[in-house]
Amino acid sequence: MDLFAYETHLSEKEKAILMDLLKYRVMTTEMIEKRYFPKKSNYINVLLHRMRKNGFIKSSILKKSRKGRKGYAYHMITETGKECLIRHDLSVEGLGKTIYVHEYQVANLLLANEALLEYESMGWQVWDSRKVKTTYNLDYRSNIQGLLISPKGKEYGLYTLETRVTENVVGKIQQEISRNKEQINNYMILAKGADSYKLFIEYGIKENEQNNKKALTTLGELIIEPFNINFVKRKTFRDEKEWIYRVCKKLNIKIKSMEMKETRQSFPVIVEYAGEEMYLVDVTDSDLNKYRDIQIYNKSISNRTWEKGRRLLVITLGIDTVANLMLDNNQELPYVEHITIGGGMIQEICQESKKDTDIVNK
């Protein structure tokens, strides 16, 4: 007979949920349900109630998170929950040094976790902000919210923007990116609202000689995308080439080459559009480095005889950002032909691609 009564036994799902809460610090009921109960069941509420009753988690309501309705419920692990994992012989090494989250941090952390969980479900590796800061020796006050590592090993520093953000917040994030771009070459900024999306692009492009402010650049990719569009594209297409192929098919653009085959070729994709051979530049991801490359090309094309006089066919989202409006300025960028596509067309391209894939797999 046991001398001591063993504490409440944890099911495998409870263990997994507690480990997730230790890693991500805060998750909504919807996040947990999507991860562990995809077939919609009230059991999620029963399970969370039991875990809360046993003192393993604590739950709260995110104020003003749903207009005219009760806010979203979110959950955090407690010290009791963490100790329970240890007693169940689960390793918590490197996790949970700081498990508590201040109320003012919750909304932003949930937004970041939404992105991290989506990417993890797609087979990417994800690091939370604590691991990124420790690994790259970044300031603990940094705003960086995580790291996304593609199946091919490409790393992206992650920032998420709420519906509205201030120029001060955007400025701090962009200063961080400039400061850390030698350590983390690629970045992904995902915006929940049009205002924050436009502001980040505008602030990243503009220069100010008086304040010695330069346009934001990185050594790799600098992607700025609306939340939903980013996930839809990543879930549908394995890489950028597959996306470009589908876009060109939709827009009746003939692809001539997708590799750097010519000496001193400026852009990898060569297409034929309206009877003219052009370079295709896909900026639907609003990569600020691509906008910079477009400007540089336009300034020097007259001196580049090897480019065969090719103009640029630039595809962007149909959103009036400062960067996209700049592309329509024929005096500043005379070598640009600008095409826009909307969210509806992106959905169509993804659906058509999925149908073709389903037919091939049958």
Instruction: Encode the chain (362 residues) as per-residue pLDDT tens digits.
Output: 343 444 567 889 999 999 999 999 999 999 999 999 887 778 899 999 999 999 999 999 988 776 667 788 999 999 999 888 888 877 776 665 677 788 888 999 999 999 999 999 999 999 999 999 999 999 988 999 999 999 999 999 999 999 989 999 999 999 999 999 999 999 999 999 999 999 999 999 987 766 667 899 999 999 999 999 999 999 999 889 999 999 999 999 999 999 888 777 889 999 999 999 999 999 999 999 999 999 999 988 776 777 888 999 999 999 999 999 999 988 889 999 999 999 999 999 999 987 775 543 44
Four-CA torsion 223, 118, 317, 277, nearest 10 degrees: 70
**Residues 187, 93: Cα–Cα separation, whole Å:** 28
HSE-up of 293 (CA within 13 Å, CB side)?
Answer: 21
Provide the pLDDT for residue 90.
Answer: 77
Task: Tell me the one-letter amino acid at 259.
Answer: E
CA distance 85 to 112: 25
| DSSP codes of every residue in 24-54 | HS-EEHHHHHHHH-TT--THHHHHHHHHHHT
What is the reported pLDDT for 99?
Answer: 75
| Integer Cα distance of 141 and 157 in angstroms | 15
First to last CA, the chain: 58
Predicted TM-score (pTM) of this structure? 0.90
Q: What is the pLDDT of residue 123?
A: 94
In the three-class reduction of DSSP (H, G, I as helix; E, B as strand; rest coil), residue 229 is classed as: helix
Please spell the DSSP secondary structure of 297-318, one letter per residue. Answer: HHHHGGG-GGGTT-EEEEEEES
Of 297, 273, 272, 269, give the one whose Cα is nearest residue 282: 269
Taking the CA of residue 149 as centre, how many other CA atoms within 13 Å lie in the half-sphere pointing to its CB? 6
